């Protein structure tokens, strides 16, 4: 239904008489669908008990998490709190006027007056005879406006906390209200360009903040927390939305930076500039500028995963290779220049939270020109409790350059390798790795015998 002057006037009338004025806002976003909001406002209180409406809070606020404190001015305390979230809209106002008289004007300027007896998404039904008829139905898309005689009680324009506050002295206070809200999240996104020789990447990182909390945080101090915090189980709620996407482009002026520090058993990243997080928006900010990181390209064949030879890029998150800072979980996308210098997408993978000096392995796809085949050639019972199995792994390299393929084998129980054609490295109690050189356009065969006891 078209917005009308009458409805807009009613919504404007919903503003409370005692509304706190915002002085500052700070938000800490966690990567578990959670944010901590710190809202600083000035309020004026009379001595005794006053009612204060603290509006513009997040629609997905957890009202049980609210903490109130006075920063400046005479002391005061919250005696009672109510969270009001029955938001006004034309449909809500219509629902409040069921069984009441309203005036309806159509787009042809026809006026209808009657008792509203039914309303849905497309039609309204009026009884023009106060229970005796006639009954008329009106298409809501064809209405010009609806006139209501007064404001229905119980509706508000924005989610609000309504307090009864006790104070011994009158005067202005600067107060801080802290609360948790859901439906806001962040994650890291990494973009890398692989060098011509596949021995380095030019790596940059963004953070994406997805705000569906039902509130906009304007010019806010922004902190991000990476880590797996524990929360008590809560009932999940779905929230449909249409998002926008904001990208910060590279320019001559240095972008704001995040500075990392330890927070309990997590990592805190503080932005050195303020940012606005609009409701129903995905905002992206530079996490760290591009840096060159030394890498190793690995061809890996693991028969347990299928017949493909996987392509991995591996590096250590250390200062020695150009990094050495905690990396939040996120998606890493890789590109490489083709023969004329155009960037082409070559694969992506997701990393978990990665501490300093830990290894990172990115699986980008499968090698097109390297084929592998694994066969059990024989199985025999040596004694009642001893069995041997012979395996053969064939690697065929159709590239015009030599390669080394990492062949991964898995075992169970108590085992020993009694015969082998290549040396291997034992990674743990159930896994070994062969490093198998394969010449250009050539073939290599790994053979071994494993004994189970």
Residues 201 and 323 in one domain: yes
**91-106 mean pLDDT:** 85
Count of structural domains, the chain: 4
Residues 106 and 253 in one domain: no
Cα gap 240→425, rounded to integer Å? 52
Any idea which of 56-65, 117-126, 323-332 has the lowest mean pLDDT?
117-126
Residues 114 and 140 in one domain: yes
Dump pLDDT digits (tens) for 363-397: 999 999 999 999 999 999 999 999 999 999 999 99
- Return the pLDDT at 246: 32
User: In which domain, by residue range, is 412 found?
Assistant: 370-452
Residues 62 and 115 in one domain: no
Residues 275 and 379 in one domain: no
Question: If DSSP codes are grouped into helix, strand and coil, which group holds residue 262?
Answer: strand
Cα gap 52→182, rounded to integer Å? 24
**Tokens representing residue 49 in the block:** 């008990």
- Return the pLDDT at 379: 96
Dump pLDDT digits (tens) for 148-195: 877 676 556 678 888 999 999 999 999 999 999 999 999 999 999 999
Any idea which of 2-6, 65-69, 400-404 has the lowest mean pLDDT?
2-6
Q: Domain ends where: 334, 367, 400?
A: 367
Chain mean pLDDT for the chain: 87
Residues 362 and 378 in one domain: no
CATH number of the structural domain spanning residue 125: 2.30.30.100
Give the Cα-Cα-Cα angle 186, 33, 56 (nearest 5 degrees).
95
- Return the pLDDT at 157: 64
Q: Is the peptide bond before 216 cis (omega within 30 degrees of 0)?
A: no
- Return the pLDDT at 142: 87
β-sheet bridge partners, residue 299:
311, 405
Output the CA–CA distances (angstroms, integers) from residue 292 to 207, 298, 331, 355, in the order listed.
19, 19, 18, 18
Residues 113 and 83 in one domain: no
Q: How confident is the model at residue 5 (pLDDT cuts 50, 70, 90)?
A: very low
Cα gap 344→193, rounded to integer Å? 9
Residues 75 and 33 in one domain: yes
Cα gap 352→332, rounded to integer Å? 11
Residues 307 and 260 in one domain: yes
End-to-end CA distance of the chain: 78
- Return the pLDDT at 134: 87
Number of other CB atoms surrounding residue 299 within 10 Å: 22
Which H/E stretch holds residue 249?
none
- Cα 137 to chain centroid, rounded: 45
**300-329 mean pLDDT:** 93
Residues 225 and 28: beta-carbon distance below 8 Å? yes
β-sheet bridge partners, residue 291:
203
- Return the pLDDT at 167: 93
- Return the pLDDT at 93: 78
Number of other CB atoms surrounding residue 302 within 10 Å: 18
Residues 58 and 177 in one domain: yes
Residues 198 and 307 in one domain: yes
- Return the pLDDT at 248: 33
In the predicted structure, residue 281 carries a pLDDT above the cut 50:
yes
- Return the pLDDT at 153: 66
**13-22 mean pLDDT:** 48
CATH number of the structural domain spanning residue 443: 2.60.40
Dump pLDDT digits (tens) for 421-439: 999 999 999 999 999 999 9
User: Which one has a higher pLDDT value, 371 or 89?
Assistant: 371
Residues 283 and 402 in one domain: no
Q: Any alpha helices (H) in 4-155, and if so which ranges?
A: 5-12, 90-96
Any idea which of 1-15, 239-253, 293-307, 425-439 has the lowest mean pLDDT?
239-253
Query: Which residue, 414, 409, 403, 415, is CA-closest to 442?
Result: 403
- Return the pLDDT at 87: 60
Dump pLDDT digits (tens) for 203-243: 999 999 999 999 999 999 999 999 888 877 755 444 333 33
Query: Which residue, 193, 4, 240, is CA-closest to 103?
Result: 4
- Return the pLDDT at 31: 86
Q: In the chain, how many H helices and how many E strands? A: 2, 32
Dump pLDDT digits (tens) for 326-359: 999 999 999 999 999 999 999 999 999 999 999 9
Number of other CB atoms surrounding residue 307 within 10 Å: 11
**Tokens representing residue 288 in the block:** 């760290």
Q: Domain ends where: 367, 400, 431?
A: 367
Residues 49 and 164: beta-carbon distance below 8 Å? yes
Percent helix / strand / coil, the chain, rounded to 5:
5, 60, 35
Instruction: Report the relative pairing of strands 200-211 and 184-194 from DSSP bridges.
Output: antiparallel
In the predicted structure, residue 411 carries a pLDDT above the cut 80:
yes
Q: Domain ends where: 367, 393, 423?
A: 367
User: Dihedral (C-alpha) 413, 418, 422, 428: value to the nearest 10 degrees?
Assistant: 20
Give percent of the chain above pLDDT 70. 88
């Amino acid at each position: 239904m078209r917005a009308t002057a009458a409805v807009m006037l009613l919504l404007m009338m919903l503003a409370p008489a005692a509304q706190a004025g915002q002085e500052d806002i700070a938000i800490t976003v966690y990567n578990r669908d959670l944010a901590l909001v710190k809202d600083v406002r000035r309020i004026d209180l009379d001595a005794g008990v006053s009612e204060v409406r603290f509006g513009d809070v997040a629609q997905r606020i957890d009202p049980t998490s609210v903490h109130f404190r006075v920063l400046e001015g005479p002391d005061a305390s919250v005696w009672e709190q109510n969270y009001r979230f029955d938001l006004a809209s034309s449909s809500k106002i219509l629902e409040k006027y069921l069984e009441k008289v309203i005036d309806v004007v159509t787009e042809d300027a026809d006026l209808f007056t009657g008792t509203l007896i039914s309303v849905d998404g497309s039609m309204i039904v009026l009884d023009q005879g106060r229970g005796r008829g006639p009954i008329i139905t009106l298409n809501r898309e064809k209405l010009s406006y609806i006139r209501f005689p007064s404001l229905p009680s119980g509706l508000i324009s924005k989610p609000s906390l309504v307090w009864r506050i006790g104070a011994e002295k009158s005067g202005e206070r600067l107060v801080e209200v802290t609360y948790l809200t859901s439906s806001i999240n962040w994650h890291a996104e990494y973009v890398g360009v692989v060098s011509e020789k596949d021995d380095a990447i030019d790596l940059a990182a963004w953070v994406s903040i997805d705000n569906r909390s039902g509130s906009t945080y304007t010019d806010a101090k922004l902190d991000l927390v990476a880590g797996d915090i524990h929360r008590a189980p809560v009932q999940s709620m779905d929230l449909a939305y249409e998002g926008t996407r904001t990208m910060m482009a590279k320019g001559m002026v240095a972008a704001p930076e995040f500075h990392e520090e330890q927070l309990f058993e997590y990592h805190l990243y503080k932005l050195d500039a303020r940012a606005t997080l609009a409701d129903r928006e995905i905002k992206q900010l530079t996490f760290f500028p591009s840096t060159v990181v030394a890498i190793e390209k690995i061809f890996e064949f693991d028969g347990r995963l299928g017949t493909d030879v996987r392509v991995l890029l591996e590096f250590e998150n250390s200062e020695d290779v150009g990094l050495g800072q905690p990396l939040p979980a996120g998606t890493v996308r890789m590109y490489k220049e083709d023969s004329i210098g155009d960037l082409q997408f070559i694969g992506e993978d997701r990393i978990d939270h990665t501490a300093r000096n830990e290894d990172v392995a990115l699986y980008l796809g499968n090698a097109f020109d390297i084929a592998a085949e694994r066969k059990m050639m024989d199985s025999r019972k040596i004694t009642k409790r001893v069995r041997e199995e012979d395996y053969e792994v064939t690697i065929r390299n159709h590239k015009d350059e030599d390669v080394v393929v990492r062949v991964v084998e898995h075992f169970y129980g108590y085992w020993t390798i009694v015969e082998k054609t290549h040396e291997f490295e034992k990674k743990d109690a159930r896994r070994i790795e062969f490093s198998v050189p394969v010449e250009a356009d050539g073939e290599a065969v790994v053979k071994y015998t494993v004994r189970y006891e």
